[in-house]
Amino acid sequence: MDYHLIHQDSIGIVLDKARQYRSLREPDLAISICIDVFAVDSDNQDALVVYILALTDQYSHGGIKVKDKKIIQAIAKLDSEFYRHYYTGIFLERKARAWLKNPMSQSFACEGLIEAIGQYKMAEKMAPSHCSDPILRYNSCLRTIKKEHLQPRVEFDELY
């Protein structure tokens, strides 16, 4: 059996459905819809954003193997440098927050949040006027580091 193609004129409505599935914590369905959009509009920027967010939503679903490479490739297709930095920050932050759930991974979570902060700082510099999103994400990461008392990983050589 072959996949059916959606009509190009339905992309807006279809993406609204994908956003709704994300809000219902059904990232797989949102991802599937985005793939259908890519079949008729391979560089659709709105679909890329929903796709990236749905892929990173999977970090909060235990037991799902998240494909970092797919996320990185999708981010690279974003036309805007601001969005590439911002969504790289989202990717790093969500991955780090997943590590927070495992006490043995606290240092990895710290490093991931620090990397996310770096991306948000770059995004903030190029954000459209009145766009506070990178600032809000930056502050949230910093608060998490402080609240959880996270420390970067110490290399074995540094212990001696």
pTM score of the predicted model: 0.92
Q: 1-79 domain in CATH 1.25.40?
A: yes
Chain segment 23-61, per-residue pLDDT in tens: 999 999 999 999 999 999 999 999 999 999 999 999 988
Q: Residue 133: which pLDDT band, with cuts at 50, 70 and 90? A: very high
Q: How far apart are CA 72 and CA 6, in angstroms?
A: 26
Closest CA to 126 of 93, 83, 92, 87: 83
Chain segment 56-70, per-residue pLDDT in tens: 999 988 767 899 999
* Confidence (pLDDT) at 87: 98
User: Over 60: is that where the pLDDT of 18 sits?
Assistant: yes
* Confidence (pLDDT) at 158: 57
86: enclosing H helix or E strand? helix 81-99
Buried b (16+ CB within 10 A) or exposed e, 96-129: bbbbbeeeeebebbbbbbbbbbbbbebbbeebee
* Confidence (pLDDT) at 62: 73
10 Cβ contact partners less than 8 Å away, ≥ 6 residues apart: none
Question: Domain extents for the chain?
Answer: 1-79, 80-153
* Confidence (pLDDT) at 160: 53
Q: Residue 157: which pLDDT band, with cuts at 50, 70 and 90? A: low
Chain segment 102-123, per-residue pLDDT in tens: 888 899 999 999 999 999 999 9
User: Over 60: is that where the pLDDT of 159 sits?
Assistant: no
